[in-house]
Structure formats: C-alpha cells, structure tokens
C-alpha cells in the first residue's frame, strides 16, 4: 500500500536537493533531471554545483550552508513551494568511545540533524499553506542500532529517522508526502575513508535509481541495497543478549 502520493511524472515539477554536490545527492539530482524535473541543487561547494548546472540544462544552483538559517529561508522564499525537497547533506567520521571527540560529535549533529531542522523551518510554512509537496530525509541503516565506529554518526541518523516518522504522522493528513531514505554502503567520498570491507557496496547511481523507484511507489521508507538492508533490519529484531556479542564478534 502506498503511504505517500506517488511521484512518477516529473514533467513540470521542481525538485530541490540540499547536499547535492557529490555522492548520492548529485546522482539523484542527475536522475531527476533525466526524468524531466526542474532540478535545483544546493551545497556549500559552488564550483561543483555550477558544473552540475552546466551539464544539466534548465537546472539551477543555489549555494548555501545548511547551518545558515537566513540563507535557507532566502532560498525557500525564492523557490516557493517545491514538489520534492530532499535533505541529503551529511557528515561522517568514524568514532569510538575510546577516541571521543566532542567537537566532531557536535558537527555530526549539526549537519546530519540540525541542518534538517533548519530546512523544515524554511520550507514547512510554504508547503503547509500550499497543501502539497514532499519532504525526503536521507538517513542511514547506521541509525537502526548501535554500531562500531559510529558513535557520532549513528545517533545523528537515528534522530533523522525518528524525525521523518513524526513528520509523516503530522503532515500526511495535510496532504504532504514524507519519506526517509536508509542507504546501506554507497561508494561516495564520505565512505571512501572507511578502512573496512563494505558489504554490498553500490554506486551512487544505483542508489539514485532506488530512490526514484521508492518515490514512484509512494513508499515512506526507501532502503537499499535490499540484499544488505534486509539483513540490517533482521539485526534490529535481535534481543540485546544476542545482538551485542554478534556485532562485537564481526568487528574483530
């Protein structure tokens, strides 16, 4: 059963992606442009956004930092209500409690969660007034349960998932769509810093195709690649007495 209005025909529709300079965001912007959407890309790296616009006629770049609330408000006012708004800004550095870094932990929360709240402050009033639009938050399977080396990243993504669920309950009755994206390992500049084998790692283009398919199906949760994410979902169901020894053993 579709939990959201199905987003299938992109002709004449506007998609705004925040965090679209590289990785999943850039690949998804490319996919939406190919499907016929008017694509607007935002991130801090203006040169990369300009390169995207040069390669994708009809698209637009709005450089900004997600922690700059006035810039987000100005961009949202400029664009007006959009058909799809995707928060794919993200930050990741491996961290364990043995090397805890408060500044790094706060940076994860700022970019992965606070930035999403800033975006909501900028776009929600317009979408509620218009009675249309779809918000999509890119979380991670790292937010399902506690994982090694994810002391800062995992909690920030878990908060984003919880936020999406609460938003759905509030906004679905108002006619707005809400979805949460749970990628497994995707080969991006962010995951390139990992020093361990990434099971079932996929290219950003495959991630983008899964996201467009999920929006077309009206899904609330879009997760991929399923050969990996279904395993992670199964781990969520394990009692703690089984989960902790199993994950600890796999991390040795």
User: Among all residues, which ones are annotated catalytic?
Assistant: 153
What does the alpha-carbon distance between residue 7 and residue 48 come to, in Å, rounded to a whole number? 27
- The DSSP letter of residue 113 is I
- The DSSP letter of residue 252 is -
30-45: b (≥16 Cβ within 10 Å) or e: bbbbebebbbbbbbee
What does the alpha-carbon distance between residue 80 and residue 170 come to, in Å, rounded to a whole number? 21
Which residues, including other chains, have CB under 8 Å from residue 90's CB and lie 6 or more apart? 19, 111, 112, 138, 140, 190
Q: Residues 73, 74, 79, CA angle at the centre, nearest 5°? A: 100
Helix axes 226-236, 240-250, angle to 10 degrees: 140
Which residues, including other chains, have CB under 8 Å from residue 153's CB and lie 6 or more apart? 91, 92, 93, 94, 95, 108, 112, 140, 142
Which residues, including other chains, have CB under 8 Å from residue 78's CB and lie 6 or more apart? 62
Pick from 50, 105, 114: nearest CA to 87:
114
Q: Which residue's structure tokens are 């009033």? A: 125
């Amino acid at each position: 059963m579709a939990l959201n209005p199905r987003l299938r025909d992109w002709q004449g529709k506007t998609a705004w992606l925040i965090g679209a300079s590289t990785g999943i965001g850039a690949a998804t912007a490319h996919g939406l442009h190919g499907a016929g959407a008017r694509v607007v890309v935002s991130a801090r790296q203006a040169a990369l956004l300009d390169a995207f616009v040069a390669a994708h006629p009809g698209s637009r770049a709005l450089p900004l930092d997600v922690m700059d609330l006035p810039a987000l408000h100005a961009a949202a006012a400029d664009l007006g209500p959009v058909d799809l708004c995707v928060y794919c800004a993200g930050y990741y550095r491996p961290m364990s409690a043995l090397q805890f870094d408060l500044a790094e932990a706060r940076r994860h929360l700022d970019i992965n969660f606070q930035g999403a709240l800033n975006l909501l402050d900028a776009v929600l009033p317009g979408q509620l007034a218009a009675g249309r639009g779809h918000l999509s938050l890119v979380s991670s399977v790292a937010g399902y349960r506690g994982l090694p080396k994810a002391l800062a990243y995992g909690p920030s993504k878990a908060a984003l998932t919880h936020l999406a669920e609460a938003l759905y309950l509030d906004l679905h009755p108002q006619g707005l769509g809400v979805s949460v994206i749970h990628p497994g390992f995707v080969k991006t500049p962010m995951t390139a810093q990992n020093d361990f084998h990434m099971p079932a790692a996929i290219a950003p283009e495959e991630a983008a195709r899964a996201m467009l398919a999920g929006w077309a199906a009206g899904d609330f949760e879009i997760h991929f690649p399923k050969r990996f994410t279904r395993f992670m979902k199964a781990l969520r169901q394990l009692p703690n007495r089984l989960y902790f020894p199993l994950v600890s053993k796999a991390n040795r």
